[in-house]
Amino acid sequence: MKNIYRSIYIALLLSFSFFAQYSLAQGLIVNEISNGLTGAREYIEYVVVGSSATPLAPVNLTNWILDDNNGSFEAVGVGTGITSGHIVITGTCFSAMPPGAIIVLYNASDRNPAIPADDPTDSNGDNVYILSTANACFSVCNTNPNTSSGSYLPCTGGLVAATGASWAASLSLGNGGDAVQTRRPDGTFFHGFSYGDVTAPFPNFPSGTSSFNVGAGGGASYFYFECGGYESATNYNAAILPAGAGQTPGAANTANNQIFLNEVRAGSYNYSDLTNSANCDNILPVEFWLVKAQLVQGDIEVFWATASETDNSHFIVERSQTATQFGSILNPIKGQKNSSSKHFYRVLDTDVLPGIVYYYRIKQVDLDGDITYSKVVTATRHTPSHGIVATVQKNASNLKLQISFDEDSEAMRFLLCNTLGQVLVQEDLYPTTDSFFREWPINFPEGIYFYRLESLKSEAKWQGKIII
């Protein structure tokens, strides 16, 4: 009897292990694909999704398969859109991915200019990973599937390191028609769809429903997900790219797609019922039309515009130097409460130092206290190139200011302030040599002080901090 119970226990453990690894919802879906404006410069954008049991648990994508058509979307032997081989995620690059993370995969030999800078490890903490198929995170099977076999395992000849040609060899989206798909490590279909002249048959999603064709192909064709159930063709759109617009690699496709990303990242997406209307019926309290940070006369201007506002109380501008820990700056900005018109907002961040990358986001607060956030934008106050290098040092008894000028340098004003903004030292400097030295006795209480150099001829500013 004990052996029977032991067998049942082991079977339950194995069953639990299987479903923990291969949950019906946990994995990687296709969020956006583009054939580029000229039918080249292609990319595929994926989104990591969780499961109903653990919607926020990290997702292990090791050995997941990324492919175009393999014969599942049309009869093996037809050949249209079936590129030999496939790509496999290897190593530990994506072994613990947060649900809602975006992965943009592109052709290294023909990079689309709309794609942001490479970030294969999400170094800036914005939940976006940008990398080419030539990255070390991938390996390639050069043999199967092919026009005579749609199978994935085993890979004849074994996996090899990805190279610059791996896109053309293993993905290579056809303009007239093809498919894009993700598969579990065991080769079973997880998500994807076809377009153009690849119209049947279709593999089944994990739920048992059939995949689909999203629309006509052709050069500059573009396909993207909105929100709701990602196993439904009605939630995908097909379009032809207008010049210089349409593509959104590394960002939400639309305001509705942002709703989807927000729900996945918050753990509120309903994986048990992908067709549940709640997966796409949330009204964004504010639809951000534009968020931007830019350098303005030595300070950083944070600018945003809203296309509409619903029950909006106020905005708070938040800043970070790590992209993960944000704090509010300045006072809250009152919103429009309810409006269907565009409104523009701007604040000036004057407390910034040169050479540091600052991350900004807009925190939007509803009348009932609910909070949403804008995307994160960055700005850097570059060190001005006016031929001036300034340092403030201290020893046991005094503060020492040293400024090195060159022949193009400007007359400057030096100010030393406390944390309340009170000016303790002020002196105008008119360089007649290539260096300037000045010392003051330390007669200030211990604490943090700020110094500032301001050009007397322009808007140029330099700032620094010193601890006494």
Domain boundaries, the chain: 25-276, 286-380, 389-467
Confidence check: pLDDT of 218 > 60: yes
Mean pLDDT score, 332-356: 84
Residue-wise DSSP of 297-342 = TTEEEEEEEEEEEEEEEEEEEEEESSSSS-EEEEEEEEEEEEESS-
Q: What is the pLDDT of residue 9?
A: 34
Q: Is the pLDDT of residue 16 over 50?
A: no
Domain 286-380 has CATH 2.60.40.10: yes
Pairing of strands 65-67, 43-49: unpaired
Mean pLDDT of 349-361: 82
Residue 286 has a pLDDT of 80
pLDDT digits (tens, 9 = 90+) for 23-50: 456 899 999 999 887 778 899 999 999 9
What secondary structure, in 3-state letters, does 124-189 show?
A: CCCCEEEEECCCCCEEEECCCCECCECCCCCCCCCCEECCCCHHHHHCCCCCCEEEEEEECCCCCE
- Quick one: pLDDT at residue 240? 82
Selection from 305, 453, 314, 434 nearest residue 377 by Cα: 305
- The yes-or-no verdict on residue 18 having pLDDT over 50 is no
Mean pLDDT of 15-29: 55
Cα–Cα distance for residue pair 8/76, rounded to 1 Å: 41
* Mean pLDDT computed over 330-340: 87
Position 35 scores a pLDDT of 86
Which tens digit of pLDDT belongs to each residue from 93-151?
899 999 999 999 999 888 888 899 999 999 888 889 999 998 999 999 988 887 777 88
- Across the range 334-357, mean pLDDT stands at 83
Kindly indicate whether the domain formed by 389-467 is annotated with CATH number 3.40.50.800: no
Q: Among the ranges 28-37, 160-169, 407-416, 436-445, which has the highest mean pLDDT value?
A: 28-37
